[in-house]
Structure 1
């Protein structure tokens, strides 16, 4: 834990540097829509320290829970895939709509309280200025950086949705058993090409999985795409096909706290948790990229950064608010 804290302190110095301007061009039209107001440094005048506050608050929170970075990264993915990046995912249920968090496909989404705490820090300096949607995107970006990944030039200027969409969440969000075709089509709708799509799956390098998402590969027989010794270890952790009897969290790869290309190296050895990840490694449309990323971490970082900017630039054109409370629309 001491070494993790030291890493965070060292990265704090990095966080004070200006975001790399070489990648500042806006992405092409994507998914739902893109807003011409999205840009680097959107809060330069209205809240000059906004991104510093996000990063410094997050660093403090990660010292309390080093596993939260992976959770915040997944939160951003699931927010942007439903109506665009609009913080609809963290709205509580109301008589008018059900929360997207009630979707089974959002199983395991957590640390929304960290978004609340970052929002509270920002409200203290710049009331009703920084959107919850931007906080989610920035917290994901900084979680990547603080785990040793690239410093991604994420644009800002998103607005917050005034509703959630549980129906779309149930229909659209990917699962551990989604097909390669489904993933490629979903990302293509956001202007993300196959190589970039594979790089985004590399986000699985952080965090853990659960037996819920693995038992289908272990019982009644072991998936042939899984390394035998790896499957034996997983059966110890998930000893029953009834997933609710298994509460073990399983590292996604052998460096679960570090954002690196280990996920792709493990994939080459058939040591990945999810059926989707195994399929991406074996599908000829995508395996060429998993191999390249396993061999070249710099290529993975560059491709992931480009894809993440595209993903987080998909916006909801109907989103109009800057919520003061991220869990509820403004009255």
Structure 2
């Protein structure tokens, strides 16, 4: 429906065409915009991914990847999968890739061909023309996966070592604390929708740990003990970088992971949806946090996880090691981002694509069958 609105909005399409853009950056969650790019005469495009690499989109853009070592963003698994996890991963990624590729094509292609003629390229063919995939992750922190030079990582963009002084009431609250734990489930999860049992579990956690100060993203009508500072908004980056902050209880959203790594803060993750279960596995794999399942959020589970982090220095050590990796990387995120875009602009005919192999060729099943 949205693409149909674009096509019937002559002013919008003409504006894109008249700007004579040299290149377009397209969001990863939809392949429809690449047909708009083609229709408006923009000569090149690349994908920008604010999340970890999603196997379905690497496949769409001509980068075949192995489901045996590339976990789905919807599967709570690392790249070291059990047989059952590999089986699930194979089915999930296979169905998503086929359904996504053909369902989008069937919905989008008729719209563009009705307006621009039957010879308008298929959406699936246009997606393969992507010059690059810009992924907002750091390759030395992510699960190692085999990809081609079409992928450029720019994780850490905007991270720096600058620590801002906290304003009131945070300055006094933290100054009077022995140690601080920050609790936030991001901006998407509305605190009003948090189950009452969860709220009670957190309040009990705060009450049973009076020597710890907690900063909690929560609505003000929830009664909390004196060792809690609650609000619907907190300066998260600046709080995490304070040396007294000993742990971060989070939903494992990717931005929160990045900010915790930039500050060297260990995590207790309670993944909610989307890529968060997968991200929580990454936290465990890299050794800078533990996971509490959302089906098991109780005082006991939270308290056990928190003290596991606070009482074992290995978690903070791992978080600090990852922080060092990010800030000592020889290739800075901004430089990598600029290079990928400028390289595409200066070398428009350069081919980075692998052969377009079918399923049997990709996995050498035809050869195995012959043998």
TM-score by length of 2: 0.29
Bigger RCO of structures 1 and 2 (CA < 8 A, at least 6 apart): 1
Report the structure, 1 or 2, having the larger helix content.
Answer: 1
Report the structure, 1 or 2, having the larger strand content.
Answer: 2
TM-score by length of 1: 0.31
